[in-house]
Chain A
């Protein structure tokens, strides 16, 4: 049964991590992510038996179909075929893209994790439908793998033509940096399925991605200790938007004081910690 929409439109990709939500049913947690707007779902179970993976795959296939969201199986092309998943996701150590393609046919989605632009370009040439770009930040989901930082994200944004998904250690606190580096598709694992309210976290991720897409204007910053979304591009705009422009204020961005004359050139980046300080009566 083909998807009713173009799977390439997805913005938020969620991967299972049963270990992140002990005591809560996998299907229940993943349904929360779909309610929150996840646009692609992957089953990744590196520790379970084939039987267990097959059972989970069947459940998630039924679930994702109900939400018309593409369903990807990690590592098991045979299970992907058996449950009629929309595709498979491969690692650099798994079987080659060409081999998976022979097995699955032209219509299935084949994605692969890449850790450098070289690997990304190679995957593109080999016929991958999308690539994962990461880990952007160090992550417990893939311990021991060096983070590729947002520099590979920027390279991918410039040079990769197929859809690419930034992945690895991405949270609501740092997603701004990833978006600023040019990513428009985000994959998060523990930040979503490990949270108390996966649907809410998904909505917040999507809000961040959409505002980045809307021109990179709305960003999340920490203003006087509170998480805030702002469309201000610099400190001067921020102060003006807050209706504080006529006051004698001190602005601090990421612990650095900004002289008033420099407010216009002090660009606000996602995740910036901004303190606006004034002088009040005291003895």
Chain B
């Protein structure tokens, strides 16, 4: 099959921090209705990278669950996030903790500058990126969709940049596709659109713009059927990727027929007037 051949091409393998990935879906693990549904959705997503958060153990509830217990048998790349951090120092500490737990050296730098919007603090994010790169981490900063900031993060050594489409959990989709395309255009590292994705349509849109991958959590976990939605996302991401590579048509103001008018049954026989309904 053509589709199969296209995805199997090694030239289109996503490489982050030297690691080749077959899936362009980075899978968030929060807010699933149950561990069982989470596992099935993860399976359906075909994702190879999962994100999770680092928290103090709730000592009042010994049964309180740890996400990693449900994925221990799988071969996955762990992308712990630094959510909860408000400063670069706090983010660095969380990253070191995750590394010490033997989860590898990838980290999603997430430093919230506002409890209302959860938008990333650009200054602290850049500082944390610089520090963690220095410490040998594969640093993936979640950032606002600012082209200059993304460039600065790339220069600081980020393995990928992860601009948000819109604030975390809002499902508002791509609020500024123009900025995203500027970021993608100038980036020399993969651009992963993270946060704010509402549905597979948004994911496909971002991929068509040229995003290297999508990180999504809430739109899958909170869907009526998370397992089906995980599969829908996987397909949309793949579709968007293929569409980007295939090259979409330029937008035009007026219609242009998809069949030549020549040979139309109704007009005067003429040599070079097109026609026919598309």
Binding site for B on A (CB under 8 A): 223-226, 242-244, 247-250, 252, 257, 259, 275-283
CA distance A279 to B66 in the complex (A): 6
Q: Given known contacts A248-B68, A277-B97, A282-B81, is B29 in contact with A242 (CB within 8 Å)?
A: no
Q: Is B246 in the interface zone, CB < 8 Å from A?
A: no
Are A280 and B52 closer than 8 Å at their CB atoms? yes
Binding site for A on B (CB under 8 A): 28-32, 38, 51-57, 59, 62, 65-69, 72, 80-81, 83, 96-98, 100-101, 103, 168, 195, 215-218, 221
Q: Given known contacts A279-B80, A283-B30, A283-B81, is B57 in contact with A247 (CB within 8 Å)?
A: yes
What A residues does B215 contact at CB under 8 A? 283
Give the Cβ gap from A244 to chain B, nearest Cβ, in Å: 6
Partner of B29, one of A249, A252, A282: A282
CA distance A175 to B66 in the complex (A): 35
Are A224 and B68 closer than 8 Å at their CB atoms? no
Give the Cβ gap from A134 to chain B, nearest Cβ, in Å: 36
Are A249 and B57 closer than 8 Å at their CB atoms? yes
CA distance A26 to B30 in the complex (A): 57
Are A250 and B101 closer than 8 Å at their CB atoms? yes
Are B30 and A242 closer than 8 Å at their CB atoms? no
Give the Cβ gap from B268 to chain A, nearest Cβ, in Å: 62
CA distance A226 to B217 in the complex (A): 32
Would you list 20 pairs from A and B whose C-beta atoms are within 8 A, ordered by A residue?
A223-B59, A242-B59, A247-B57, A247-B69, A276-B59, A277-B55, A277-B101, A278-B56, A279-B53, A279-B67, A279-B68, A280-B54, A280-B65, A281-B28, A281-B29, A281-B53, A281-B67, A281-B221, A282-B28, A282-B217
How many A-B contacts are there with CB distance less than 8 Å? 99
Are B56 and A276 closer than 8 Å at their CB atoms? yes
Measured CB to CB, the nearest residue on chain A to B29 is: A281
Q: Given known contacts A247-B66, A252-B97, A257-B96, is B30 in contact with A282 (CB within 8 Å)?
A: yes
CA distance A279 to B59 in the complex (A): 14
Give the Cβ gap from A216 to chain B, nearest Cβ, in Å: 23
CA distance A282 to B118 in the complex (A): 14
Give the Cβ gap from B77 to chain A, nearest Cβ, in Å: 14
What A residues does B97 contact at CB under 8 A? 250, 252, 257, 277
Are A283 and B59 closer than 8 Å at their CB atoms? no
Q: Given known contacts A248-B69, A252-B97, is B57 in contact with A278 (CB within 8 Å)?
A: yes
Are B51 and A283 closer than 8 Å at their CB atoms? yes
What A residues does B55 contact at CB under 8 A? 277-280
What A residues does B221 contact at CB under 8 A? 281
What B residues does A242 contact at CB under 8 A? 57, 59, 62
Are B57 and A248 closer than 8 Å at their CB atoms? no
Q: Given known contacts A250-B101, A252-B97, A257-B100, is B66 in contact with A280 (CB within 8 Å)?
A: yes
Are A281 and B38 closer than 8 Å at their CB atoms? yes
Are A279 and B62 closer than 8 Å at their CB atoms? no
CA distance A222 to B168 in the complex (A): 33
Are B100 and A281 closer than 8 Å at their CB atoms? no
